[in-house]
Amino acid sequence: MPSQDEIYTKVSATLVEALNVDEDEIKPTSTLQGDLGAESIDFLDIVFRLEREFGIKIPRGELFPESIFQGDPEFVQNGKVTDKGLAELRARMPFADLSKFEANPDLSAISDLFTVEMITRYIEGKLGEPSNN
Amino acid sequence: MRWIWIDRFLEFQPGRSARAVKNLSLAEDYFADHFPGFPVMPAALILEGLAQTGGILVGEANDFREKVVLAKIPSARFHREALAGEQLVYEVELVHLRPEGAAVKGRALAGDDLLAEAEIFFAHLDQARSQQLFGDQNFVFSGELKHMLGLAKVLADRTDGKSTNGP
Protein backbone atom coordinates (compact mmCIF):
# COMPACT_ATOMS: atom_id res chain seq x y z
CA MET A 1 0.00 0.00 0.00
CA PRO A 2 1.37 3.45 -0.89
CA SER A 3 2.29 5.87 1.88
CA GLN A 4 0.19 8.91 2.66
CA ASP A 5 2.79 11.10 0.92
CA GLU A 6 2.60 9.03 -2.22
CA ILE A 7 -1.18 9.20 -2.20
CA TYR A 8 -1.08 12.96 -1.66
CA THR A 9 1.33 13.41 -4.58
CA LYS A 10 -0.95 11.43 -6.88
CA VAL A 11 -4.05 13.28 -5.67
CA SER A 12 -2.30 16.60 -6.39
CA ALA A 13 -1.35 15.44 -9.88
CA THR A 14 -4.97 14.40 -10.47
CA LEU A 15 -6.22 17.83 -9.42
CA VAL A 16 -3.67 19.56 -11.66
CA GLU A 17 -5.17 17.67 -14.61
CA ALA A 18 -8.81 17.97 -13.66
CA LEU A 19 -8.85 21.60 -12.55
CA ASN A 20 -6.05 22.99 -14.71
CA VAL A 21 -4.27 24.52 -11.73
CA ASP A 22 -0.51 24.74 -11.05
CA GLU A 23 0.94 22.20 -8.70
CA ASP A 24 2.26 24.89 -6.36
CA GLU A 25 -1.28 26.23 -5.87
CA ILE A 26 -2.22 22.95 -4.21
CA LYS A 27 -1.79 22.57 -0.46
CA PRO A 28 -3.22 19.92 1.85
CA THR A 29 -5.74 22.41 3.23
CA SER A 30 -6.78 23.87 -0.14
CA THR A 31 -10.52 23.73 -0.63
CA LEU A 32 -11.60 22.40 -4.00
CA GLN A 33 -14.21 25.04 -4.71
CA GLY A 34 -12.95 28.10 -2.85
CA ASP A 35 -9.20 27.76 -3.42
CA LEU A 36 -8.94 25.66 -6.55
CA GLY A 37 -12.02 26.89 -8.41
CA ALA A 38 -13.74 23.52 -8.90
CA GLU A 39 -17.23 23.60 -10.38
CA SER A 40 -19.88 20.93 -9.96
CA ILE A 41 -18.98 19.00 -13.11
CA ASP A 42 -15.34 18.90 -11.99
CA PHE A 43 -16.24 16.63 -9.09
CA LEU A 44 -17.26 13.84 -11.46
CA ASP A 45 -14.08 14.41 -13.47
CA ILE A 46 -12.02 14.12 -10.27
CA VAL A 47 -13.82 10.89 -9.33
CA PHE A 48 -13.08 9.38 -12.77
CA ARG A 49 -9.41 10.30 -12.54
CA LEU A 50 -9.02 9.00 -8.98
CA GLU A 51 -10.60 5.70 -9.97
CA ARG A 52 -8.18 5.33 -12.86
CA GLU A 53 -5.15 6.55 -10.94
CA PHE A 54 -5.65 4.32 -7.91
CA GLY A 55 -7.53 1.42 -9.51
CA ILE A 56 -10.46 1.75 -7.12
CA LYS A 57 -14.23 2.08 -7.44
CA ILE A 58 -15.80 5.15 -5.92
CA PRO A 59 -19.56 4.68 -5.55
CA ARG A 60 -21.78 7.64 -6.39
CA GLY A 61 -22.05 10.11 -3.54
CA GLU A 62 -19.47 8.44 -1.33
CA LEU A 63 -16.55 10.84 -1.70
CA PHE A 64 -18.62 13.89 -2.57
CA PRO A 65 -22.10 13.42 -1.09
CA GLU A 66 -24.57 15.33 -3.21
CA SER A 67 -27.38 16.45 -0.98
CA ILE A 68 -26.80 15.13 2.48
CA PHE A 69 -29.53 17.01 4.28
CA GLN A 70 -32.16 17.46 1.57
CA GLY A 71 -33.68 20.38 3.39
CA ASP A 72 -34.55 18.24 6.41
CA PRO A 73 -35.25 20.62 9.35
CA GLU A 74 -33.82 18.03 11.76
CA PHE A 75 -30.47 18.48 10.08
CA VAL A 76 -30.50 22.17 9.23
CA GLN A 77 -32.10 25.06 11.12
CA ASN A 78 -31.72 28.74 10.25
CA GLY A 79 -28.87 27.97 7.88
CA LYS A 80 -26.93 26.11 10.58
CA VAL A 81 -26.29 22.39 10.68
CA THR A 82 -27.79 20.89 13.84
CA ASP A 83 -26.11 18.36 16.17
CA LYS A 84 -28.04 15.64 14.44
CA GLY A 85 -26.85 16.99 11.10
CA LEU A 86 -23.26 16.96 12.32
CA ALA A 87 -23.65 13.36 13.42
CA GLU A 88 -24.98 12.54 9.96
CA LEU A 89 -21.96 14.27 8.39
CA ARG A 90 -19.56 12.32 10.59
CA ALA A 91 -21.23 9.09 9.56
CA ARG A 92 -21.33 9.89 5.87
CA MET A 93 -17.88 11.49 5.66
CA PRO A 94 -15.65 9.89 8.29
CA PHE A 95 -12.66 10.98 6.21
CA ALA A 96 -13.50 14.70 6.49
CA ASP A 97 -12.00 16.95 9.14
CA LEU A 98 -15.05 18.49 10.77
CA SER A 99 -13.28 20.27 13.65
CA LYS A 100 -13.37 23.73 12.07
CA PHE A 101 -16.85 23.29 10.70
CA GLU A 102 -18.25 22.15 14.04
CA ALA A 103 -17.19 25.45 15.63
CA ASN A 104 -19.38 27.33 13.18
CA PRO A 105 -21.60 24.90 11.29
CA ASP A 106 -22.88 27.31 8.70
CA LEU A 107 -24.50 25.35 5.87
CA SER A 108 -22.90 27.64 3.29
CA ALA A 109 -19.43 26.66 4.56
CA ILE A 110 -20.00 22.98 3.92
CA SER A 111 -18.10 23.05 0.64
CA ASP A 112 -14.97 23.97 2.64
CA LEU A 113 -14.96 20.38 3.91
CA PHE A 114 -13.87 19.26 0.46
CA THR A 115 -10.11 19.68 0.69
CA VAL A 116 -7.08 18.01 -0.81
CA GLU A 117 -6.28 16.24 2.44
CA MET A 118 -9.87 15.02 2.68
CA ILE A 119 -9.48 13.25 -0.66
CA THR A 120 -6.11 11.88 0.46
CA ARG A 121 -7.64 10.42 3.62
CA TYR A 122 -10.54 8.98 1.69
CA ILE A 123 -8.18 7.24 -0.77
CA GLU A 124 -6.05 5.98 2.10
CA GLY A 125 -9.11 4.39 3.71
CA LYS A 126 -10.27 3.00 0.38
CA LEU A 127 -6.91 1.36 -0.37
CA GLY A 128 -6.96 -0.17 3.09
CA GLU A 129 -10.24 -1.98 2.41
CA PRO A 130 -9.70 -5.71 1.85
CA SER A 131 -11.58 -5.68 -1.47
CA ASN A 132 -9.11 -3.23 -2.96
CA ASN A 133 -5.96 -5.17 -2.11
CA MET B 1 -29.38 25.25 -39.81
CA ARG B 2 -28.37 21.63 -39.56
CA TRP B 3 -25.95 21.23 -36.69
CA ILE B 4 -24.26 18.05 -37.80
CA TRP B 5 -20.52 18.03 -37.89
CA ILE B 6 -19.88 14.48 -38.98
CA ASP B 7 -20.77 12.99 -42.36
CA ARG B 8 -21.02 9.37 -41.36
CA PHE B 9 -19.69 6.67 -39.11
CA LEU B 10 -16.97 4.41 -40.42
CA GLU B 11 -16.94 2.14 -37.42
CA PHE B 12 -19.01 1.81 -34.29
CA GLN B 13 -18.21 -0.54 -31.43
CA PRO B 14 -20.97 -0.04 -28.85
CA GLY B 15 -19.67 0.99 -25.45
CA ARG B 16 -16.08 1.10 -26.71
CA SER B 17 -15.14 3.24 -29.67
CA ALA B 18 -16.32 4.99 -32.80
CA ARG B 19 -14.81 6.43 -35.96
CA ALA B 20 -16.55 9.03 -38.06
CA VAL B 21 -15.62 10.90 -41.18
CA LYS B 22 -16.05 14.60 -41.98
CA ASN B 23 -15.35 15.97 -45.42
CA LEU B 24 -14.41 19.63 -45.57
CA SER B 25 -15.91 21.36 -48.58
CA LEU B 26 -14.90 24.88 -49.51
CA ALA B 27 -18.64 25.50 -49.97
CA GLU B 28 -19.17 25.38 -46.19
CA ASP B 29 -20.14 28.84 -45.02
CA TYR B 30 -17.54 29.38 -42.37
CA PHE B 31 -14.63 29.08 -44.81
CA ALA B 32 -15.57 32.44 -46.34
CA ASP B 33 -14.71 34.23 -43.11
CA HIS B 34 -12.29 31.82 -41.47
CA PHE B 35 -10.16 33.09 -43.06
CA PRO B 36 -10.39 35.04 -46.35
CA GLY B 37 -7.67 33.56 -48.55
CA PHE B 38 -6.79 30.91 -45.94
CA PRO B 39 -9.69 28.54 -45.49
CA VAL B 40 -9.17 26.52 -42.30
CA MET B 41 -11.82 24.86 -40.16
CA PRO B 42 -12.34 26.64 -36.81
CA ALA B 43 -10.78 24.50 -34.10
CA ALA B 44 -13.98 24.69 -32.04
CA LEU B 45 -15.83 22.91 -34.85
CA ILE B 46 -13.26 20.11 -34.84
CA LEU B 47 -14.08 19.72 -31.16
CA GLU B 48 -17.79 19.74 -31.99
CA GLY B 49 -17.24 16.90 -34.48
CA LEU B 50 -15.32 14.92 -31.87
CA ALA B 51 -18.02 15.67 -29.30
CA GLN B 52 -20.79 14.50 -31.64
CA THR B 53 -18.90 11.29 -32.40
CA GLY B 54 -18.31 10.76 -28.69
CA GLY B 55 -21.77 11.92 -27.64
CA ILE B 56 -23.46 9.34 -29.86
CA LEU B 57 -21.09 6.66 -28.55
CA VAL B 58 -22.03 7.62 -24.99
CA GLY B 59 -25.75 7.94 -25.77
CA GLU B 60 -25.93 4.57 -27.54
CA ALA B 61 -24.37 2.88 -24.51
CA ASN B 62 -27.64 3.56 -22.65
CA ASP B 63 -29.95 3.11 -25.65
CA PHE B 64 -30.28 6.89 -25.97
CA ARG B 65 -32.31 7.07 -22.76
CA GLU B 66 -29.98 9.57 -21.09
CA LYS B 67 -29.76 13.19 -22.06
CA VAL B 68 -26.07 13.42 -22.84
CA VAL B 69 -24.68 16.93 -22.74
CA LEU B 70 -21.16 18.17 -23.30
CA ALA B 71 -20.00 19.26 -19.86
CA LYS B 72 -16.31 19.91 -20.00
CA ILE B 73 -13.22 19.63 -22.16
CA PRO B 74 -10.40 19.10 -19.65
CA SER B 75 -7.73 19.22 -22.35
CA ALA B 76 -7.45 19.83 -26.08
CA ARG B 77 -4.38 20.07 -28.29
CA PHE B 78 -4.22 21.26 -31.86
CA HIS B 79 -1.28 20.23 -33.98
CA ARG B 80 -2.12 21.72 -37.35
CA GLU B 81 -4.99 23.37 -39.23
CA ALA B 82 -7.67 21.43 -41.09
CA LEU B 83 -7.85 22.79 -44.63
CA ALA B 84 -10.70 22.99 -47.10
CA GLY B 85 -10.71 19.86 -49.26
CA GLU B 86 -9.39 17.58 -46.55
CA GLN B 87 -11.12 14.56 -45.10
CA LEU B 88 -11.06 14.36 -41.33
CA VAL B 89 -11.46 11.17 -39.38
CA TYR B 90 -12.64 11.44 -35.79
CA GLU B 91 -11.58 8.57 -33.56
CA VAL B 92 -13.15 8.41 -30.14
CA GLU B 93 -12.79 5.89 -27.36
CA LEU B 94 -14.99 5.60 -24.29
CA VAL B 95 -12.82 5.88 -21.19
CA HIS B 96 -15.44 6.04 -18.43
CA LEU B 97 -19.15 5.48 -18.24
CA ARG B 98 -21.21 5.91 -15.08
CA PRO B 99 -24.81 6.78 -14.26
CA GLU B 100 -23.80 10.41 -13.76
CA GLY B 101 -21.84 10.84 -16.96
CA ALA B 102 -18.99 9.70 -19.18
CA ALA B 103 -15.55 10.62 -20.45
CA VAL B 104 -14.05 9.98 -23.88
CA LYS B 105 -10.70 10.50 -25.56
CA GLY B 106 -10.72 11.67 -29.14
CA ARG B 107 -8.35 12.34 -32.01
CA ALA B 108 -8.89 14.10 -35.31
CA LEU B 109 -6.78 12.90 -38.22
CA ALA B 110 -6.27 13.90 -41.85
CA GLY B 111 -4.63 10.95 -43.53
CA ASP B 112 -1.70 10.09 -41.29
CA ASP B 113 -1.54 13.57 -39.75
CA LEU B 114 -2.77 14.07 -36.22
CA LEU B 115 -4.64 17.38 -36.24
CA ALA B 116 -6.12 17.52 -32.77
CA GLU B 117 -6.65 15.47 -29.64
CA ALA B 118 -8.99 16.11 -26.75
CA GLU B 119 -10.54 14.66 -23.64
CA ILE B 120 -14.26 15.28 -23.55
CA PHE B 121 -16.56 14.95 -20.62
CA PHE B 122 -20.31 14.37 -20.84
CA ALA B 123 -22.94 14.68 -18.12
CA HIS B 124 -26.18 12.78 -18.03
CA LEU B 125 -28.71 15.42 -17.15
CA ASP B 126 -30.31 14.38 -13.92
CA GLN B 127 -33.48 12.52 -14.91
CA ALA B 128 -35.79 14.08 -12.37
CA ARG B 129 -34.59 17.60 -12.87
CA SER B 130 -34.38 17.53 -16.62
CA GLN B 131 -37.89 16.13 -16.81
CA GLN B 132 -39.14 19.14 -14.92
CA LEU B 133 -37.22 21.50 -17.16
CA PHE B 134 -37.47 19.85 -20.53
CA GLY B 135 -40.24 17.26 -20.33
CA ASP B 136 -40.01 13.60 -21.24
CA GLN B 137 -38.66 14.02 -24.71
CA ASN B 138 -34.96 13.43 -25.11
CA PHE B 139 -34.03 16.68 -26.85
CA VAL B 140 -30.43 15.61 -27.32
CA PHE B 141 -31.11 12.52 -29.38
CA SER B 142 -34.41 13.63 -30.85
CA GLY B 143 -33.61 13.07 -34.50
CA GLU B 144 -30.61 14.05 -36.51
CA LEU B 145 -27.88 12.77 -34.23
CA LYS B 146 -29.52 9.42 -33.67
CA HIS B 147 -30.25 9.19 -37.36
CA MET B 148 -26.49 9.25 -38.07
CA LEU B 149 -26.08 5.73 -36.75
CA GLY B 150 -28.92 4.34 -38.84
CA LEU B 151 -27.45 6.07 -41.87
CA ALA B 152 -24.06 4.52 -41.23
CA LYS B 153 -25.65 1.10 -41.17
CA VAL B 154 -27.55 1.63 -44.42
CA LEU B 155 -24.42 2.87 -46.19
CA ALA B 156 -22.36 0.01 -44.84
CA ASP B 157 -24.96 -2.51 -45.97
CA ARG B 158 -24.84 -1.05 -49.44
CA THR B 159 -21.07 -1.07 -49.65
CA ASP B 160 -20.05 -4.36 -48.14
CA GLY B 161 -23.27 -5.89 -46.90
CA LYS B 162 -21.81 -6.65 -43.50
CA SER B 163 -20.76 -4.25 -40.82
CA THR B 164 -20.05 -0.58 -40.39
CA ASN B 165 -16.34 -1.06 -40.89
CA GLY B 166 -14.60 1.71 -42.71
CA PRO B 167 -13.04 1.74 -46.16
ipTM: 0.78
Tell me how close the Cα of B36 comes to any Cα of chain A, in angstroms: 34
Q: Can you give the residue range of the structural domain that contains B123?
A: 8-153
Name the domain count of chain B.
1
Output the pLDDT for position A85.
92
- Does the bond joining B35 to the residue before it have cis omega, within 30 degrees of 0? yes
Interface test with B, best of A19, A41, A46, A54 (most B CBs within 10 A): A41
The span from the CA of B165 to the CA of B167, in Å, is: 7
Q: What is the pTM of this model?
A: 0.82
pLDDT, tens digit, for every residue of B92-139? Answer: 999 999 988 999 999 999 999 999 999 999 999 865 455 555 566 677
Q: Which of A18, A41, A60 faces B123 most closely, judged by CB atoms?
A: A41
CATH 1.10.1200.10 intervals, chain A: 1-64+114-133
Architecture of domain A1-64+114-133: Orthogonal Bundle (1.10)
The span from the CA of B15 to the CA of B103, in Å, is: 12
User: Would B49 be classed as within a structural domain?
Assistant: yes
In the 8-state DSSP scheme, what is residue B81? Answer: P
Which CATH number do you get for residue B99? 3.10.129.10
Banded pLDDT at B164 (limits 50, 70, 90):
very low
The span from the CA of A123 to the CA of A56, in Å, is: 9
User: Would B159 be classed as within a structural domain?
Assistant: no
Residues with Cβ within 8 Å of B33's Cβ and at least 6 positions away in sequence, in order, are none
Between strands B8-13 and B87-98, the pairing is unpaired
Q: Which of B72, B75, B98 faces A41 most closely, judged by CB atoms?
A: B72
Calculated CA dihedral for residues A71, A77, A83, A85, nearest 10 degrees: 10
